[in-house]
Structures are given as structure tokens and as C-alpha cells.
Structure 1
Amino acid sequence: MSPLRHSATLDVTAEQLDVLRAIDAETGLRARRAEARGLLGIDPALPGPGRYTLYGARFRQADAPGMTTACDPGDLADLERWIAEARTRADVVLVSVHSHEPGPTPEEPGEFLREFAHRAVDAGADVVAGHGPHFLRGVELYRGRPIFYSLGNIVSQIELADRLPAEDYANLPGLRQPTPGRYFDELSGHGRRLFAPHRRYWRSLVPVLTFDDGELTAARLHPVDLGFGAPVHRRGRPRLAGEAEAKEILTDVAELAAPYGTRVTAGADGIGELDVRGDG
């Protein structure tokens, strides 16, 4: 297990950057940095022209507002080294990455994650399997290697935990005679919030990949149903999705994969196929 830190930069227009400068000056934040400026010879909040570091965030002047993320160069280099090492020791190298952070939309991965996935393949990975946001994201075929930006939840049974730390119970002071089951029931608003009322958190995929002499020759996608709407003690266990559910899952995945130039089709047997001949 290795960390993959990343930085976020907020793009703002010239007018918005002027507003940030005014807030910095008029609230007294700039005055508080006087000692740092004297010691460093520079203002730590002004790393360069058109750039500002304020409120713990990085701002950059741009034509239009937005946000971008980038991998920490040191972490990325360390990970590339060990992926390359694995390449010398295995027929197939699978890199697993846990990342919740979204890109422009919740369904898109952060820019840093796509950067990492590409560099992982360049370093020797045959498959990159992402997880973290608890729902499915798109699939990309990069240099003939599949990148699953999130496979969602394969198992989701946190509500069946046998023990909880005292501080969790303390966060719900109105809970009487606390038990794990009562805690999660109260936390979820009796099934009205968090994961329980949202179908997309109870769907997943199990890819079955076939390699021949190091080349990906087939990728079958098995839709999985985790029991949306079932009682707590019955949901969260993976099972093959029924016909209607499988069709919906594969339709969603095909739409999520399309922006990467990756084609996903659904077979009559309810199993999807990743077009391994394409290359997004």
C-alpha cells in the first residue's frame, strides 16, 4: 500500500483573482504574513504571477473558472518504480487504486487519477482497477490495457458491524440503549439518507479478463446486484444481476465509457463485452 497524494488548483478569472487579493488585504490576512515575508524574502501566498495560495487553496488566473488536480510527483515516481518492478516478476500486473475524489462531475474521476492510471500502464500495468466512490465510473482502454475508474462496491455490509467505537455513539447523543444496528438505523434516517435510498450504490461489475501472451484478448463484464431495497441483513452481498437490472447497469457503463472512446456492448446473456480492439 502506497500513498498517492495530489494537489488541487482552482482556476479563476482575472476579475475573481482581484477580488481574492482585496479580501486578502482587507481582512488582515496579508498583514499577518509580514513576518514570513521578512524571513523568506517573498510572500508565501504569492508563488508567482497570476497565482495565489489562500485559505488553504491554490488559485490560478485562467480564461474560465474551474478546478484541476495533479499527482504529487514524488508519490507518482515511487509508484511507477514498484509497478515496473512488478512487471519483471509477473505475467499480469494489476494495480488497485482507492480514490473518492471526483472530476468535473461525480461520475468522472479526478484529473490526477487519470494521470496516475495512464502512468501506471506506461510503467507496466496490465489492468488498473479503481474503487472508492461507492458507485460505478467509466472504463478506458489505454494502450490496449483496461482502466476501470471505479468498480463501485463489491460487498457493502458496514451496517452489519459487530462493534463501534465510543466516539461514534457520542456523535448521536439522542440514541438510547445504543447498539450497532440502532446506530446505523439512526444515522441513515431509518433508510432515508446516506447509501440506502440510492440505487447506484448497490450496483457493481465483476470484469473477467482474458490475456494471451501478455495481450488482452477478451473482457467480459458481469453486472452485480447488491440488493437495493432489501432489509439491512440481506443487502450488500454480491449476486449476479437479473435481466432488467443487468441491462440497466450495462447501459450506464456504456454511457460512462463513451467519453473515453471505449465501447461496451450488452449480450443476450446479460453479460457485457468491452471492445478490446478499440483504444481510447
Structure 2
Amino acid sequence: MPTETTMIFTGDSFITRRLPEDGYEGFGALHRIIQDFQVRFTNLEITVHDEEGYPDAQSGGTWAMTEPPVLDDLLRYGFNLFNTANNHAVDYGHGGLLATIANLNKRGCISAGAGRNLAAACRPAYLETKDARVALIGACSTGFPTGIAGNQSPTMQGRPGLNPLRFNTTYHVTRENFEHLEGIASATNLNAWQQRLIDLGYEPPLPEGSLNFGGLQFVASEEDYLSTTVHPGDMQRIRAAIDEATRQADYAIVSIHAHEALDGDPAKPAEFLREFAHEAIDCGADAIIGHGPHELRGIEIYNGKPIFYSLGNFIFQTETVTTQPADAFEKHAMPTDTGIGSYMDSRSQNGTRGYPTEPHIWTSVMAGIRFTDGAATQIELYPIDLSMDKPRSRRGTPTPAAGTETLEYLADLSGEFGTKIRIRDGVGLVDIR
């Protein structure tokens, strides 16, 4: 008899409110869908602790912290596998990150993507199912350098943080524009300090024909465009983790948190993300699970394996955090004793700007994959709605979506990759084999 392993994946869970004791309308239906799968994944887009960490000088937008019992609520949905590598992982420093991992471990939650040092952050996590062992590797391309985990050395412990997927950005400009930039840099002494560091031997010389302009890399080309490529060292490290996972498990899943977009369009993945996803599959990954831009991106089937460039949001309760550090209020020139409600009203101009006005933020899908004898055979897409039109106190909580609008939109995005989504009884289906 063929052996089937089933997995369901969701996007960002930015959860700040407790589940009602008796659930809510639509919760039971979501729970039944999720529970029907053996592997049940979400991205934990928040730190979960009792203020064990100090707020970092920078954040992923909203300083993300909530009380540990919300993990019990995510378990009530049915999740059993979590990604912790995202741009909010160190919103409350290393203390907040390590406390989050401790709270996950206390509940037996299996997670990947962040850890006490780089080796721990990149290490695959393993989930045992009835017929298969499944490995998860988590990585993140979005965030600040202070959030990146560090290696151990023979004489020094490593640094807590997330498993990074950095990338190199090159701005290609015409010769005329290149010379114009050179003139501005020379006239303003923009690169004087960097040149001194190069002269002293602390920085390597710039490649021939390139210009560092305020930290951005420019080269002369025949036309103007931007290109991004994967950081080779990070790719090599993640490749090694995938290789280990394929030796130790039946399936290797790679989770990547990435906000970066192509040509500024949040619905299109950046060039380096496509490169990364293909290379990860080439070295053995069975599926790539993307999230980060808080909205859907297209689905690609590459060498018979699915790439979800973004699954958008599952829970998005950013406006009902309990507290924010002084930095948040000072950034918006507000008194530091401002209430959170007033702060959120000001930031969104009473709901007339930002995420509250973006329809694609509030609709998404849960993506199920059915594997038979080690090969992905079908994708099932269950649309969800996060109640954009409800007040802040109830917005951002998922329910099954009525109609096919979200699936039709995702079908359009996926058409760019040659992926066809058919819709049957309100569920999107992709036949792989």
C-alpha cells in the first residue's frame, strides 16, 4: 500500500489576544481542517515571554511581544511545528528570544530558525509522524544585523539570534548615471571614511568598475536595473543543514521569512528568493514555505516540488499588543505615556492608512500538501478571512472564507510560474503528479 504523509502550512501568526474559552464562530471549522493533517505548521511572528528581554533599539515595525499562554491557543488550533526565524525574533533582544524558545520547549513545541548560537539556529528540528520523520529548517532574510546568530569559537560562546539568509544587492546604472553618482560622491566626500578604512586595510578594496554610494553598490551597465543574489556563505550553511535533514528524515521542509520584493511589488518575490528556493530544492528540500510580506505570493512547482513564496497571514493582531517601548512613541513624536489605543489610532490615522486599508493583508490560504511514497502529489488551498472590516478588537482572527475571490487572486499570481489552480467546492487544488 502507498504511504501517505500530509502537511498543512500557514503564514504569519502575529497573535496578541487569547482565544475565547469556547472558541469563536469559524474556529471549529479551521481546527478540523488543520487537524486533518499530520504536520501542522505556522510562523510564530511574535516573541512570547514575560518581559525577560529588553526592547531592541530597532524592531520589525511593531515591537512584538505577548504572554506565553497564547502558545496554548496555537496548540488549540492544532499546530505542532513552528518557525521562529523572522524579523520580530529579537524585538526584545536576546533575552526575549531565548525566553520565547524556552516557552516553546516547555510545551513540547517543535521549532526551528533561531537559537542560542548559529549552529542551533540553523539546526533542523524533527517531527515524528505515524509513517515519516519530517525535518524543518528555518531562515530569515529580513531584519537587522543585531538579530543574526553568531558562531561559537574555541574561546568564545556564540551569539543568540536567527538563522540568516543574507543577500547582495547591486544597482546597475548607465555610464552617464554612474559618472553623475561619482561626481556627487566626490563633491560631498560621501565615501571618504570608507576609503580611509580601505587604505588602512580594514576593508577590502571595491571591485573594479563599482561604486559604493552611501552604502549602496553601483556598477556601470547598459541600462538601469537592480539585481539581488544570495549570500554564498549563508547558502552554503543552509545547504549543509538540508543535506543533514535529508539523511536524518524522510522529508525536509525549508521555511523562509522574507519581505523583499521584486520591483517594489510586495506580491512578487525578490530575485534572490527564487534563486534560494531553487537551490534549496536542488540539494534535497521537499517544499519551501515562504512568509513575511503579510500577503500572498504565487506558487511555483519546481522539479515536482512546491514553493510557496508567501502564505500571507494566519493571525494578524498587531494593533492589540499590550505595550510598546518608549522608542515607538518617540518615533512618532508622541508622549511616552500614550495609551496603545491612541498610539495605534495615530499611527494609522484612525484606520485610514497602513495595513488596515490593504485588502490583501486580510485574506490568505492554508496550504495542504499530500505526499505519497516521498513525492508531493497534490496541494489543497483553504481560503481564510481575517475580518478587515471588523473593529481592531476583533480584526486579524482567521475564519474560513466564503467565495472563491482569494483563490482566483492566488491563481493569477501563480500563473506567472506556470502553476494552474483549479477550484472545487471552495478549495483550490494543484495537481503535481
Normalised by the length of structure 2, the TM-score is 0.59
- Of Structure 1 and Structure 2, the greater strand share is in 2
Partner residue, 2:385: 225
C-alpha displacement at 1:25, in angstroms?
A: 2.6
Check if 1:204 corresponds to 2:361: no
| 1:132-160 Cα deviation digits (max 9, x unpaired) | 11111111101111100011111101211
Amino acid corresponding to residue 97 of structure 1 in structure 2 = I
Say yes or no: does 1:54 pair with 2:213: yes
Measured in 1, the distance between the counterparts of 2:172 and 2:408 equals: 34
Once the two structures are superposed, residues 58-95 of structure 1 have per-residue CA deviations (whole angstroms, 9 ceiling, x without a partner) of 11222221101111110110011111111122222211
- Paired position in structure 2 for 1:153: 313
Kindly indicate whether the alpha-carbon contact (under 8 Å) linking 1:47 and 1:53 is maintained by their aligned counterparts in 2.
Answer: no
The answer to whether residue 163 in structure 2 is matched with residue 7 in structure 1 is no
| Distance apart, 1:111 and its partner CA | 1.0
Residue among 187, 190, 194 paired with 1:26 = 187
Counterpart selection for 2:177 from 3, 10, 16 = 16
**1:273 corresponds to 2:433:** no
> Is residue 365–residue 382 contact of structure 2 (8 Å, CA) maintained in 1?
yes
**Aligned residues of 2:383 and 2:406 also touching (Cα < 8 A):** yes
The answer to whether the 8 A contact 1:130-1:151 is kept is: yes
User: Which residue in 2 is equivalent to 1:171?
Assistant: 331
In the alignment, does 2:408 pair up with 1:248? no
2:397 to 237, 253, 258: 237
RMSD (Å), alpha carbons: 2.1
In structure 2, what is the Cα distance between the partners aligned to 1:192 and 1:214?
Answer: 48
Cα 1:24–1:90 change in 2 (3 A) is same
Say if 1:4 and 1:72, in contact at 8 Å, map to a contact too: yes
User: Partner of 1:253: helix, strand, or coil?
Assistant: helix
Contact 1:264 1:274 in 2 (8 A): yes
1:61 aligns to what SS in structure 2? strand
**Contact 2:296/2:410 (8 A) holds in 1:** yes
- TM superposition shift of 1:21: 2.0
Q: Is the 1:154–1:238 contact (alpha carbons within 8 Å) kept by the matching residues of 2? A: yes
What is the CA–CA distance in structure 2 between the aligned matches of 1:27 and 1:87, rounded to whole Å? 53
The answer (yes or no) to whether the contact 2:191–2:212 under 8 Å persists in 1 is no
Provide the rounded CA distance (Å) in 1 between the counterparts of 2:204 and 2:282.
39
2: distance between equivalents of 1:184 and 1:85?
45
Aligned to 1:107, what secondary structure does the other structure show? strand
Q: What SS does the aligned partner of 2:307 have?
A: strand
Q: CA-to-partner distance for each residue in 1:228-260, whole Å, 9 max, x for gaps?
A: 1111111111111011xxx21111111111111
**SS of 1:266's equivalent?**
strand
Amino acid at match of 2:229: A
Out of 94, 104, 108, the position equivalent to 2:253 is 94
Which of these residues, 291, 298, 306, is aligned with residue 138 of structure 1? 298
Q: Percent identity?
A: 39
224-233 or 175-184, larger mean C-alpha shift = 175-184
Q: Give the superposition deviation at 1:195.
A: 0.7
Q: SS where residue 282 of structure 2 aligns?
A: helix
Deviates more, 1:115-124 or 1:165-174: 165-174
The alpha carbon displacement at 1:163 in A equals 2.1
Does the 8 A contact of 1:175 with 1:183 survive in 2?
no
1:70 paired to 2:229: yes
Aligned residues: 270
Counterpart-to-counterpart distance in 1, 2:204 and 2:191: 9
Partner of 1:79: 238
Query: Shift in Å at residue 193 of structure 1?
Result: 1.0
Q: Which has the larger radius of gyration?
A: 1
SS in 2 for 1:88: helix
| C-alpha displacement of 1:177 | 6.1
* SS of equivalent to 1:234: coil
Map of 1:257 onto structure 2: 414
Secondary structure at 2:315 match in 1: coil
* TM-score normalised per structure 1: 0.89
Aligned partners of 1:30, 1:235: CA distance in 2, in Å? Answer: 47
SS at match of 1:112: helix
Task: Show the 5 A alignment for 1:95-110.
Answer: 95-104=254-263, 105-110=265-270
Aligned AA for 2:295?
F
Q: Which SS does the other structure have where 1:125 is aligned?
A: coil
Do the aligned partners of residues 35 and 211 (structure 1) sit closer, same or farther apart at CA in structure 2, a change above 3 Å counting? closer
Contact 1:95 1:125 in 2 (8 A): yes
